[in-house]
């Protein structure tokens, strides 16, 4: 993380080519101030003022940083969260050069997309992390519905699908200290107006964009603003122990329930099964070929039918 932050500061002219020894002498607060200064500078495509204008939230997005280019908004969010930025702060970048999805998979993040991370300071334990991811999926789906896209579906655990094609991915990361979660970094990437013809062949056929689904470009600023408002509403329900209401919304939009899947769990545990549903902890319930039930807490489900 430190190397990424140093590279960002050098690229933006905040650091010259100091030696490692010289860099180590710089106070961490000075590093933080420099990163925050960059995040408050004007950018060409994403407009912080336009997002903030009439933003109908109490705390989500009230502290906003927009960058021209970073390797990963999650990395910047982790750095800033460790140095005092408030709950609900949002880090956005016009493009990412080394973004990662779940399991370390690369994430294409060119101009025209919505690439952001939200810093949360929740009072939750590790068992609630899957529910936070599912709740975010509901917020993204409701956002897409609000801008005119019909029938967005949520593929467990973290993809939003339109007619079988991926339009959004979510990456939830916990920053923990002594087994206590201090911050949650919630990364969201939405293919808004990106040109997926430039995507690698492996990704191209399985992807779509908001522009393609609507038949016209959408303002990334408006899309971000809409999502932040929807997310705060879902977060408030989550904090109010309204898990069942969130799960009900998730189940209505599920892309996974009722399908035959190949489950790929950690440590090379692979098997086929039929997705029955999702439980109150956010785990997927799968009936295996032999009729036994499996609770999938983490991993990947590849649709087979």
Q: Is the pLDDT of residue 166 over 80?
A: yes
β-pairing, 180-190 vs 165-177, is antiparallel
Q: Is the pLDDT of residue 25 over 80?
A: no
Helix H or strand E encompassing 92? strand 90-96
Q: Is the pLDDT of residue 27 over 70?
A: no
Q: State what percent of residues in the chain have pLDDT above 70.
A: 91
Which residue's entry shows tokens 């021209």? 68
Q: Is the pLDDT of residue 112 over 80?
A: yes
229-245 confidence digits (pLDDT tens): 999 999 988 877 778 89
Strand partners, 179: none
β-pairing, 153-155 vs 159-162, is antiparallel
Structure pTM?
0.91
244-284 confidence digits (pLDDT tens): 899 999 999 999 999 999 999 887 789 999 999 999 888 99
Q: Is the pLDDT of residue 70 over 70?
A: yes
> What pLDDT sits at residue 238?
83
Which one is predicted more confidently, 196 or 125?
A: 196
* Average pLDDT over all residues of the chain: 88
Count Cβ atoms within 10 A of the Cβ of residue 50 and give its class: 0-12 exposed, 13-18 middle, 19 or more buried: middle
136-158 confidence digits (pLDDT tens): 999 999 999 999 999 999 999 88
Helix H or strand E encompassing 265? strand 260-265
Sheet with 284-288, edge to edge strand ranges? 293-296, 284-288, 269-278, 260-265, 300-303
pLDDT band for position 6 (50/70/90)? confident
Distance CA 296, CA 279 (A): 10
Q: Is the pLDDT of residue 107 over 70?
A: no
**What one-character-per-residue DSSP string does 42-80 give?**
--SS--HHHHHTT---SSTTSSEEEEEEES-HHHHHHHH
Least confident of 66-80, 93-107, 112-126: 93-107
Distance CA 305, CA 279 (A): 23
């Amino acid at each position: 993380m430190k190397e990424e932050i140093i590279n960002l500061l050098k690229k933006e002219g905040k650091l010259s080519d100091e030696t490692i020894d010289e860099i180590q002498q710089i106070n961490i607060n000075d590093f933080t101030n420099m990163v925050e200064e960059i995040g408050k500078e004007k950018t060409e495509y994403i407009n912080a003022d336009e997002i903030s204008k009439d933003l109908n939230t109490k705390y989500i997005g009230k502290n906003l940083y927009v960058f021209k280019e970073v390797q990963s908004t999650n990395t910047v969010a982790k750095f800033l969260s460790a140095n005092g930025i408030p709950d609900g702060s949002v880090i956005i970048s016009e493009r990412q050069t080394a973004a990662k999805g779940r399991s370390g998979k690369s994430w294409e993040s060119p101009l025209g997309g919505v690439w952001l991370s939200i810093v949360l300071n929740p009072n939750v334990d590790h068992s609630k992390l899957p529910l936070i991811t599912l709740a975010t999926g509901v917020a993204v789906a409701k956002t897409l519905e609000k801008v005119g896209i019909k029938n967005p579906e949520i593929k467990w655990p973290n993809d939003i699908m339109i007619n079988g094609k991926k339009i959004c991915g979510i990456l939830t990361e916990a920053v923990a200290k002594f087994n206590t979660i201090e911050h949650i970094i919630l990364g969201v990437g939405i293919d808004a107006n990106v040109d997926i013809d430039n995507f690698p062949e492996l990704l191209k056929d399985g992807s779509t964009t908001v522009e393609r689904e609507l038949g016209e470009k959408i303002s990334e600023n408006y899309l971000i603003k809409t999502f932040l408002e929807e997310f705060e509403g879902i977060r408030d329900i989550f904090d109010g122990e309204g898990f069942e209401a969130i799960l009900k919304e998730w189940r209505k939009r599920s892309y996974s329930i009722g399908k035959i899947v190949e489950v790929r769990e950690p440590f090379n545990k692979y098997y086929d099964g039929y997705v029955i549903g999702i439980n109150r902890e956010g785990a997927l319930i799968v009936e295996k070929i032999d009729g036994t039930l499996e609770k999938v807490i983490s991993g990947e489900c590849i649709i087979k039918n």
